[in-house]
Amino acid sequence: MEIRRGDIIIRDICPSDIADHVRWRTVDTEWMNWDAPWRQPTLPPAEAERFLRRLAASPLPAVRTRFEIALDTGEHIGWMNSYSLDAAPGGLAIGIDIAEPRFRGGGRGERAFSAFIHYLFSAGLTRVYTETWSGNLPMIRLAGKCGFELIQRGQKDRQVRGEAYDSLLFCVTPAAFYEKQAFEPTPDVRRPLSRCGWALTALIGLGQLSALALALLSRLFFPELLGSAAGALLLSDLSLYGVGLTALALILRKMPAPPLPQPDQPPDTPALLRLLTLCLGMGYLGQLAGTTAVTLLEYLFGRSYADPLAGLFTLSNPSVIFVFAVVLGPVFEELIFRDILLRRLLPYGQAFAIQATAVAFALFHCNVAQFFYAYAAGVILAYAVVSTGRLHIGILLHACFNLVGSLLMPALLQTGNSAVIGLASIAVMALMAGSLILLARGKSRVRLDAGSMPLSEEQKRRLALQSPGVLVFVAISLGLTAWTFFS
């Protein structure tokens, strides 16, 4: 294997490298002043030579554990290796040695080290460690250039030439690394995003086409269905969750779907109440933003807008609303966005998966009035599922959100009692304020996994916006949103 970055080549060991290694252990030994100088090399030169000859002749693992470092002009200048870390069970630590001072500088160590880290992240690792000591300033600077964060420091526990130094343990995640080091995304990183976009396009497109076909068939054979709100909702659900969901699942069936992360403890009642407050409060804030947007658009285009879904629910009795809005909607929408889609985006990182599914959920509604609160609630619902590891938590929160918005609040407003309406308004404002307080207090404590994709957060967003499937889904969703506004 050979990997190039600039003038640096990292490659598998070959027999001609062995003479260099022997020389570095017997003559050019300056590198030993930096690589764990408190201990002698674990292998004497002769034994090290035998080990390296066996290594060069042995079959290499699929995921390499070491690389030799060479220049594109042919000089062999050093090596990098990896080893299991006692301080972090299951963790992998890596080290680098450019053996001779004349080859150091000019960013060669950074290019070699970052190429190794990129290789390991591309192979699926989600954390990489490196160890050094406080006197090794070049290695400390190199760790910083690659996004490493100091996670453990021993106090004066390394003796080097009669002086005490601190031992240092650093860790880097893909998100931190790719904020510092830019690598061109490979096709296998690009394709899953586009496939998700095509799956959402099928959900929307085939759902709409099948709804049209079912409406035509109903007009011919069951005209009474179209004359009732329940019939119209039934046809819509059959189209979206029958045809559209089936198409989405078929398109995504071969994509890896990692299981949801499982916390050590299930969520307790206070945690669930906080999530419910966030879901309702952020949803109402989104609804306020949606109402403002609709008002602005009405002013700009000189026309009034009526939310078609709200009108349909107005014509329905409470039992119909309960079945479609509180039971069926949450079950199927959580299955689509917080299970099938979310799990397939987890390799891109939990933050990206939460944001991407929330945007997709908002666009899926194809409705100006619903876009903002669907996005706001979608973020909280996705976070709830990721943080608890339980899809049914998202379903229950979604059901509560729809119950309050489609049945409870309309019922309170229809009483005409000013005291009841006033209390309902105070409750809504309290929920909005409470959600903002919880968000401000809890944001710094949220820890989201960065995923295993070798991309920075900016690269992830850019790739999503450049994916053909995603672009088509966005275009169709926005087109349907405009149609519902102007029709």
Provide DSSP, 140-168: HHHHHHTT-EEEEE-SS-EEETTEEE-EE
Among 36-40, 270-274, 410-414, the minimum mean pLDDT is found in 36-40
Which helix (H) or strand (E) element contains residue 285? helix 269-301
Chain-centroid distance, C-alpha 395:
21
Question: Which residue, chain included where needed, has tokens 């619903």?
Answer: 370
Q: What per-residue confidence (pLDDT) applies to 465?
A: 92
In the 8-state DSSP scheme, what is residue 60?
A: P
Which domains are delineated in the chain? 2-180 (3.40.630.30), 187-486 (no CATH)
Q: What per-residue confidence (pLDDT) applies to 426?
A: 94
pLDDT for 183 beyond 90: no
pLDDT for 303 beyond 80: yes
Among 179-183, 270-274, 336-340, 384-388, the minimum mean pLDDT is found in 179-183
Measured CA to CA, the distance from residue 303 to residue 393 in angstroms comes to 40
SS3 call for 333: helix
Among 58-67, 79-88, 182-191, the minimum mean pLDDT is found in 182-191
Record the tokens describing residue 154, joined without a space: 């021993």
Which helix (H) or strand (E) element contains residue 170? strand 167-172
Q: What per-residue confidence (pLDDT) applies to 314?
A: 63
Radius of gyration (C-alpha) of the chain in whole angstroms? 29
pLDDT for 313 beyond 70: no
**454 phi, psi to nearest 5 deg:** -80, 70
Q: How many CA atoms lie within 13 A of 314 on its CB side?
A: 8
Q: What per-residue confidence (pLDDT) applies to 273?
A: 96
pLDDT for 250 beyond 80: yes
Determine contact, residues 460/354, Cβ cutoff 8 Å.
Answer: no
**32 phi, psi to nearest 5 deg:** -65, -15
Backbone angle region of 75, left / alpha / beta, with phi > 0 → left and psi within -120 to 50 → alpha: beta
DSSP string, 86-107: TTSTT-EEEEEEE-SGGG--TT
Residue 157, CA distances (Å) to 39, 154, 171, 189 in order: 13, 6, 20, 43
Q: What per-residue confidence (pLDDT) applies to 437?
A: 95
Record the tokens describing residue 50, joined without a space: 């035998």
Residue 137, CA distances (Å) to 11, 81, 134, 461 in order: 26, 20, 7, 35
Task: Please state the rounded mean pLDDT for residues 293-309.
Answer: 85
Among 85-94, 152-161, 192-201, the minimum mean pLDDT is found in 85-94
Task: Please state the rounded mean pLDDT for residues 382-405.
Answer: 96
pLDDT digits (tens, 9 = 90+) for 25-60: 888 889 989 998 887 666 677 887 888 888 788 888
Measured CA to CA, the distance from residue 183 to residue 181 in angstroms comes to 7
Q: What per-residue confidence (pLDDT) applies to 415?
A: 85
Name the pLDDT band for 408 (thresholds 50, 70, 90). very high
| Extended beta strands in 260-309, E state | none
Determine contact, residues 115/86, Cβ cutoff 8 Å.
Answer: no
Using alpha carbons only, give the angle 336, 127, 264 rounded to the nearest 5 degrees: 60
Determine contact, residues 353/382, Cβ cutoff 8 Å.
Answer: yes
Residue 79, CA distances (Å) to 15, 119, 400 in order: 14, 15, 58
Chain-centroid distance, C-alpha 440:
21
Name the pLDDT band for 110 (thresholds 50, 70, 90). very high
Q: What per-residue confidence (pLDDT) applies to 312?
A: 61
Q: What per-residue confidence (pLDDT) applies to 112?
A: 96
Which class for 421: exposed (0-12), middle (13-18), buried (19 or more C-beta within 10 A)? middle
Which distant-in-sequence residues (6+ apart) come within 8 Å of 444 by Cβ? none
Residue 201, CA distances (Å) to 256, 337, 425, 468, 476 in order: 20, 13, 38, 11, 7
Percent of the chain with pLDDT over 70: 97
Percent of the chain with pLDDT over 90: 61
pLDDT for 311 beyond 70: no
Measured CA to CA, the distance from residue 465 to residue 156 in angstroms comes to 50
Name the pLDDT band for 221 (thresholds 50, 70, 90). confident
Task: Please state the rounded mean pLDDT for residues 278-287.
Answer: 95
Q: What per-residue confidence (pLDDT) applies to 108?
A: 94
- What is the 3-state secondary structure of 210-255? HHHHHHHHHHHHCHHHHCCHHHHHHHHHHHHHHHHHHHHHHHHCCC
pLDDT for 302 beyond 70: yes
pLDDT digits (tens, 9 = 90+) for 335-369: 999 999 999 999 898 999 999 999 999 999 999 98
Which helix (H) or strand (E) element contains residue 277? helix 269-301
Name the pLDDT band for 445 (thresholds 50, 70, 90). confident
Q: What per-residue confidence (pLDDT) applies to 315?
A: 59
